[in-house]
Amino acid sequence: MMKAKKKMMCLALAALMAASLPGCGKAISKPKKGDSVAPSLNTAPLTSEQKLLETGVCKPVSSTEPSRFGFETHLNVNGIDVDGFYRQNEIHFTGKNYAQVKGVLTFRGDNYRSSGSYGVANMTSYKLAKAWNIDTGSLKKTVKKGEWTGSGWTGQPLLVQWDDATRKAMNLYDSKKNKSGLVEVIYATMDGNIYFLDLDDGSATRPKISLGFPIKGTGSLYPNGIPLYAVGAGDDMGKKAARTFLVSLVTGEVLYEYGAEDPFSIRTDNGNFCAFDSSPLFDAETDTIIQPGENGILYTMKLNTKWDGTTLTIDPAEIVKWNYKTNRTGNDTYWLGMESSACAYDHYFYICDNSGDLMCIDINTMELVWSQDIVDDSNASPVLEVDPATGTAYIYVSTSLHWTANKRKTGDIPIFKINAATGEIMWKREYSCKTVDGVSGGVQATACLGENNLSGLVYFNIARTGGKKHGKFVAIDKKTGGEVWSVDMKYYSWSSPVAVYNSNGDGYIILCDSDGNMHLLDGATGKVKDTINLGKNIEATPAVFNNTVVVGTRGKKIYGVTLK
């Protein structure tokens, strides 16, 4: 998670002698027999149909035909059930050039879900330093026991540097309206509020917005700089069903809501449960929002956004809903619903679900192209990468340990590399884990793709392996699926790792854990450069702008941390 490969292995072996990660047992371990199952590889040469960029077409092979899994899909357009659909204004995502303004505007930054950082992090001492913090709160559930506190999974902040005209048109405090180069932190948390902060010092940039629902997931900003924000609720509040909110950042008003108690949902367990942890994607070219729901519905709608530099309005139309069921989906196990965020390439949309499916959907026809059995409930988002040497697109994904756990609550979780054109498995490896009801083991965190000097590696964060409270952070060779190095963690983690790079292209990893620790690691060797403690469990995923990391904790704090 290489002409360079030999060099990498040498670095990993040399790092065996490095100092131990504070509180984390052995810092770096060479793969040992029994640590994990060696990867099974698909070594067949790629056909032209498997090279997504060469053909522009995805299609299944016999093993990924949706009919093999008993898929039954349905469509609804503007409230009417239909047999077919073709989008008049076609969607085509161009590469991973998602954000057209500076910042991190959605979960993991782009439509490939490939990065949570923006800019360059030039460090001299390779230390982490607390720069600022602010208090958040909690939200008492009105029917079920318990409360939501602070920031949870996936809980990534958004970071955006507005252009001058837009900044001055929004409801910012005067001092912030007039601050040239302001980078704003937009952070929805589980106390039901959206916080707006100055990246420099954590001071409020405008009044917070109270939605009254816990926000576990990550919101999204319109990628071309229009001040429109979307975020979904992670749970209901008594008789008030979870839904997604579209919010004007000009006035702070909720412009539109969707998804609550949707009759198109065929999920029947747990009182037709629905939630919207998935971070939506906007296609600015067609003015369309796309979002999967845990109610088993994939939503798309044309927003008819109007923004004249002063006034922002939307008028959603062409509301398209897609739902599905399979031979495996049920009320007691393998629930319907999509909890992770989807990645997109051109007009193909890739999403995992609670029922152990990875699906490829043509977003222009809303047809299911292929499906792959990934065995268990996936909360991690699929991550897409195009191999620059072959022009082939691949997906990296893993699962929680849920349905496949044995009576002792143990089992193996798979990590996959999958061909994005056909759904075929290129390699698969497994790790033994434990799980706890409601607090899963396995992989909750989304993979981190290495770039620059880390381009041969993909990183996975595995919870409850090596012990119920422990975890493992692994760097895997993208081509072979072999483990290059690993870090044994005393405290497991659900937080997705984030890579940052200096001006030379040298990469470092930000990794947070369930004891409130933030670690800075050398991405090439796994050597720990520094660790600081932020007090409480960090389930949330950090985002980074240049040398500043922002993340919230379950301890009702949001921190700004400087990379020194």
- Tens of pLDDT, residue by residue over 270-286, are 767 899 999 999 999 99
Is residue 486 over pLDDT 70?
A: yes
Q: DSSP class of residue 504?
A: T
Is residue 5 over pLDDT 70?
A: no
Per-residue pLDDT tens digits for 429-482 = 999 999 998 899 999 999 999 999 999 999 999 999 999 999 999 999 999 999
pLDDT of residue 4: 43
Per-residue pLDDT tens digits for 488-543 = 999 999 999 999 999 999 999 999 999 999 999 999 999 999 999 999 999 999 99
Burial 521-536 (b: 16+ CB within 10 A, else e): bbbbbbbbbbbbebbb
The neighbour count for residue 143, using CB atoms within 10 Å, is 8
Model-level pTM? 0.93
Under 8 Å between Cβ of 324 and 383: no
C-alpha–C-alpha distance, residues 158 and 403, integer Å: 33
Closest to 490 measured CA to CA, from 522, 528, 454: 528
Closest to 323 measured CA to CA, from 282, 286, 366, 373: 366
Structure tokens at 264: 């198109």
Helical H runs in 355-416? none
Q: Which residue has the higher pLDDT, 39 or 233?
A: 233
Is residue 149 over pLDDT 50?
A: yes
The neighbour count for residue 317, using CB atoms within 10 Å, is 10
Per-residue pLDDT tens digits for 182-225 = 999 999 999 999 999 999 999 999 999 999 999 999 999 999 99
Paired strand residues for 210: 193
Under 8 Å between Cβ of 514 and 3: no
Percent of the chain with pLDDT over 70: 91
Parallel/antiparallel/unpaired status of strands 400-401 and 393-398: unpaired
Give φ, ψ of 169 to 5 degrees: -90, -15
Is residue 78 over pLDDT 80?
A: yes
Q: What's the mean pLDDT in 281-306?
A: 98
Is residue 383 over pLDDT 70?
A: yes
Residue that the structure tokens 């720990």 belong to: 528
pLDDT of residue 48: 63
pLDDT of residue 53: 52
Is residue 168 over pLDDT 90?
A: yes
Helix, strand, coil share of the chain (percent; to 5): 5, 40, 55
Please state, rounded to an integer, the average pLDDT across all residues of the chain. Answer: 92
Is residue 144 over pLDDT 60?
A: no
pLDDT of residue 391: 86
In angstroms, how far is the first alpha carbon of the chain from the final one?
A: 25
Q: Between the CA atoms of 352, 158, 220 and 554, what dihedral angle is there, to the nearest 10 degrees?
A: 60
C-alpha–C-alpha distance, residues 248 and 254, integer Å: 6
pLDDT of residue 345: 95
* CB within 8 Å of 136: residues ≥ 6 apart: 150, 151, 189, 191, 193, 195, 552, 556, 557, 558
Q: Which of 61-70, 118-127, 139-148 has the lowest mean pLDDT?
A: 139-148
Structure tokens at 385: 């990468």
Burial 398-410 (b: 16+ CB within 10 A, else e): bbbbbbbbeeeeb
Three-state SS string over 219-235 comes to: CEECCCCCCEEEEECCC
Q: Is 270 exposed, middle or buried (0-12, 13-18, 19+ CB in 10 A)?
A: exposed
Give the pLDDT band (50/70/90) at residue 35: low
